[in-house]
Amino acid sequence: MNIVYLINFLLILTACNHSRATKPPQEMTLNSNPTQNFYDFSIAGLDNNKSINMRDYRGKKILLVNVASKCGFTSQYSDLQKLHELHSNDVQVIGVPCNQFMGQEPGTNSEIAQFCQKNYNVTFPLTDKIRVRGDDQHPIYQWLTNKNFNGLDDFSVSWNFNKFLIDENGKLINHFGSNVKPLSEELLNAINS
């Protein structure tokens, strides 16, 4: 086992154990079990702070997308909404606001919700604004980006509108960069496979 990996793992574990005592119960933290089930995770919702539980979507695919309101890819909200409307029986779209890429999601939860409704009529769930990489990375993104947890590969969230596709059984099956459009043949084929 790589010593750097072990030290990083222990730091994550220590931070998660510390955060269990201080975080609200609706937010599941990553634990030391590399096979932790994706359905154990939840994220606070954007507009009502109600928890979005991944287990509620068991049996359908889930597409998690880190979103931003002031990005060159922001227009993908339109296709994400169309994907939600046309394929909601097969895939649950979840938008994850993040302000880590050149401050392109600076708004409050209320401002983000208003922007999405006014400009794109978004009806798919949006989470609270979180960190998807680096310090204080949300546990669900720790799982999504680390092969030791997700079982598929190591991934880097390089910009806004990266997409993670989870299958009907809670297994990560694909990661798509920002340039892959929500209604692209590549993404739709992955959803329909």
One digit per residue, the tens of pLDDT, for the chain of length 193 reads 455 444 444 444 444 444 333 333 334 445 545 557 899 999 999 877 689 999 999 999 999 999 999 999 999 999 999 999 999 999 999 999 999 999 999 999 999 999 999 999 999 999 999 999 998 999 999 999 999 999 999 999 999 999 999 999 999 999 999 999 999 999 999 999 8
d(C-alpha 23, C-alpha 148), whole Å: 24
d(C-alpha 114, C-alpha 182), whole Å: 22
- CB atoms under 10 Å from CB of 47, counted, come to 15
Q: Which residues are catalytic?
A: 71
Give, in degrees to the nearest 5, the angle at Cα 63 between 89 and 68. Answer: 125
User: Which structural domain range is residue 186 located in?
Assistant: 3-192
CATH of the domain at 41: 3.40.30.10
Which pLDDT belongs to residue 20?
37
Q: Is the pTM of the predicted complex or chain greater than 0.85?
A: no
- What is the domain count for the chain? 1
Q: Are strands 61-67 and 42-44 parallel, antiparallel or unpaired?
A: unpaired
Residues 6+ apart with CB under 8 A from 28: 40, 41, 42, 139, 140
